[in-house]
Amino acid sequence: MKSVYGLSQTEFEEFFISNGEAKYKAIQVYEWVYRHKITEFSNMKNVSKKTISLLEENFEIDSLKLVLKQDEASVIKYLFELSDGNQIEAVLMKHDYGNSICISTQVGCNMGCAFCESGRLKKVRDLETHEMVLQIMDAEKLLGERISHVVIMGIGEPLDNYNNVIRGIDIINNDKGLAIGSRHITLSTVGIIPKINELATYGKQINLAVSLHTADDKLRNKLMSINKVYPIKELIEAVKYYISKTNRRVTFEYVMLKGVNDGDTDAEELSKLLRGINCYVNLIPYNATSYKEFEKSSKETILRFYDVLKKNKINVTIRREFGSKVSAACGQLRSNYKEE
C-alpha cells in the first residue's frame, strides 16, 4: 500500500479524477494530512465516507521508527529505521531564525568522497519520496515545534535520486503541504552536471550548494571520484548556466582538511576559479571520524584561508560547528550504530 506522504498535489488530483471524484479533494487531503497531521483518514471531518474508504483502500498514514536519538544544546540527531529495516539519519539544528533539518535521500552513497562517512557504507537503494517527507514530519512531531528550513544534504547524493527528490521538494514547498518556502530549501550536490542543468529549469527558487573542496583537478580526483567524470571546468560552466537560468546565488562548500586543501595557495587558486561568479564559499570545519585519515584544520588556518578569500573579494562564511558531540558527520551515526 502506498504512503499518503508520497504523492504531490497534482498526483492526488489525478488519483481522484481517475476514481470519479472531484480533484479539489486533493487539497482537502493535503490540509488534513499536513496541517492537521491526522493519524487516521476517518479524522477528516469534511470528507465523505466514500472518499475516506477510497483513501483507506489505497493509502496508509505511516511513520518512521526512531532507533536512536542523540542531542546537545542546539543539535538533535535522529537515526530512523525504514519499513524494510534499512536505517537513515536526519540532523535537526536550532538557529535563532528557526529550526533547520538536514535530511537523507539514499540509504548509503556511491559517490565515494574520501572524507565523507556516508560513502563508507555503499548505496543500498534510493529513498522514496515519502521517506524523505517523513524525516521532516516525524522530527517535527518529536521536537514539538515547526521546522522552517530544509537542507537536502544528509546521507546520499540528491541528484542521483532526482525524480523522488523533486517530488519531495514539491510536497515540502506546497502551500497546502509542509509550506516551507523555496528559499528555505537547500539542495547539496557533488556535481552531477546533467542534473544541475535539469535543476536549472525546474522553476522553484531553491538554494543550490555544490561540494567543491578544492580548485585543483588532481586533488579533487583524489577527494571526490565524481571529478573524474565531471571535472572542475565543466562543473563551473554548469553552475554558471544554473545562475543564468535562476538568477540565484550558488554556495560552494569547502571542507577544511588539515594539510590537504587549506594552504594559502589553495585559497588563491579558489579565488581565481570563482572570481566573477555570483556565489559564496562556505568554509566547513571538518568533523573527524575514527574511520578517516583526515584531520580538521586549525582555527588559525581557517581564519587565514578566510582572509585570503576576502582579500580577493570572494564572499565567504565559516560554518558554525554543529554536533561535534553527537556523531554529526554525514552518515556517522548510522555507520557507528551498524558497527556496534
Catalytic residues: 89, 330
Residues contacting 316, CB < 8 A, separation 6+: 280, 281, 282, 283, 306, 309, 310
Q: Cβ neighbours of residue 231 under 8 Å, at least 6 residues apart?
A: 217, 220
Sheet holding 185-189, edge to edge: 65-71, 75-81, 87-95, 98-103, 149-152, 185-189, 207-211, 250-256, 279-285, 316-318
**Residues 327/287, Cβ–Cβ less than 8 Å:** no
Which DSSP state fits 144?
T
- Going by C-beta distance under 8 Å and a sequence separation of 6 or more, which residues neighbour residue 137? 5, 37, 63, 178
- Which grid cell sits at 5? 506522504
Q: Which residues touch 59 (CB under 8 Å, ≥6 apart)?
A: 1, 2, 3, 4, 41
Q: Which three cell numbers stand for residue 3?
A: 504512503
- Decide if 256 contacts 284 (C-beta within 8 A): yes
Is there a contact between 38 and 32 (Cβ–Cβ < 8 Å)?
yes
Q: How far lies 3's CA from each of 12, 59, 63, 64, 119, in Å? A: 12, 5, 9, 11, 28
Return the bridge partners of 77, or none: 70, 91
Q: Which are the contacts of 50, defined by CB distance < 8 A and separation ≥ 6?
A: none
Residue 49 buriedness (CB in 10 A; 0-12 / 13-18 / 19+): exposed
The amino acid present at 319, given as its one-letter code, is: R
Bridge partners of residue 255, in order along the sequence: 284
